[in-house]
Amino acid sequence: MAETTQVTVIGGGSSGLMAAVSAARCGAEVVLLERMDRVGKKLLATGNGRCNLSNTDCSMSRFHGGDPAFIAEVLTRFPVAPTIDFFEELGIACKTEDQGKIYPQSDQASAVLDVLRYELDRLHIDVRTGCEVTGIARAGAGFALSLSGGKEIGAGRVILAGGGKAGPQFGSDGSGLRLAQKLGHHLIEPLAAIVALRLGAAFLRRLKGIKFVGRAEVRCGADVLRQEAGEILFTDNGVSGPPVLQLSRTAAVALQKNKAPRIVLDLFPDSGLEELDAALAKRFSQQGKKSLAMGLVGLLNKRLIPVLLAEAGILNTSLACGSLPAQARQRLAALLKAWSFPVMGTQPWPQAQVTAGGIALDEVDPTILESRLVPGLYFCGEILDVDGDCGGFNLQWAWSSGYVAGRSAAGR
């Protein structure tokens, strides 16, 4: 073998960068291997380019995965306050915005990556980009890593931070998961999360680009599995927007379990059904001579009107507002409060922000993030069966798990 290093980190995303820095600060000699042409590509895209570093409310309700106690153990070892101290020490002034979201004062994800890369250099971490690991095998007390192109290097301890499958254009193509499987680890089936949903309705293309502030629910039968409110966006084959992204994991899991989830939209969440019906009755009375299509202009997006009327069974859009039967008006009000669509699936992996599922947590020691099956192998970040809501929770998991894995692999 050509060379040996004490700690080799596979994957230069957020958790891999933190793991490398943490290991090096503990005195380890560190090599960081990244298959893309530069490290931190996915980090640059977080928070719409602003980098939502963390969240002040990292309660367990915001995280999902196989074992809440496992997640809590890791987060407790490097929680939010030390995380912010870490970045402020590197030069990132932080600010807190609505819903506890923490951003760099500069609103630049590139600033976060810049200071991390500076720290890699300061700690003399050997960063090798365009370096894809194709295999990991035991070699004495350490490991032999096979690289694309036929090269092989040695490693004393290995931190696998290869990410999940979300955002393959940034480097997370599932290769880390495959490496773990070859070493005997089992996967909880990966699902796309924090992603737009595909719905079953032929008219959706006509609504593409329409936004409204409302409420969305995931329902299976009569059960409401989760609901979120905010700005909702129609796409050419479904819906997106912050509420939908939060709901996507719930819908994806329901589909995986062969249930029949639906998205139910409330376009007037601040009004009850009777209140909305009364408002429609008043409006139609005042706009009595106008057609229904014209009488709803100013209340609803104009492109929504013909679709909603048709969905409510009102096919004659030229009918005068004053002539609409009360029963038809009530159907329209009910639709505006609970417009239901079957969920057909999520958008594909390149559009997903995070992976739900991953390495089974019962095969990893939560106190040090070492494999229970392969001593000397550690995990951090999205490769594990842990994911969070949008709002900084997934990056906090990356920082916390990277910190724990890095220190543990360095022997601290």
Q: Six-digit token pair at 100?
A: 């506890």
The predicted structure's pLDDT at residue 5 = 61
Residue 236 is encoded by which pair of tokens?
């050419």
Widest CA span of the chain, in angstroms? 87
Rounded to an integer, what distance in angstroms lies between the CA atom of residue 54 and that of residue 363? 27
Query: What count of Cα atoms within 13 Å lies in the side-chain half-sphere of residue 197?
Result: 32
What structural domains does the chain harbor? 4-191+355-409 (3.50.50.60), 196-346 (no CATH)
What is the DSSP-derived secondary structure letter of residue 347? Answer: P
Judge contact between 92 and 107, C-beta under 8 A.
no
The pLDDT score that the predictor gives to residue 164 is 96
Please tell me the predicted confidence (pLDDT) of residue 3: 46
Determine contact, residues 146/135, Cβ cutoff 8 Å. yes
Nearest alpha carbon to residue 78 among 5, 1, 140, 22: 22
Q: Identify any residues that bridge with 364 across adjacent strands, giving them in sequence order.
A: 371
User: Per-block average pLDDT, block size 10, for the chain (412 residues)?
Assistant: 72 98 97 97 93 96 96 98 98 97 97 98 97 95 93 96 96 95 97 98 97 98 96 98 97 96 98 98 95 96 97 95 96 98 98 97 98 98 97 98 98 80
DSSP per position, 271-300: S-HHHHHHHHHHHHHHTTTSBHHHHTBTTB
Q: How far apart are CA 110 and CA 107, in angstroms?
A: 9
Q: Name the residue with tokens 């719409």.
A: 48
Separation between Cα atoms, residue 206 and residue 210, nearest integer Å: 9
Three-state secondary structure call for residue 253: helix
* Per-residue pLDDT at 301: 97
Structure tokens at 332: 């329209």
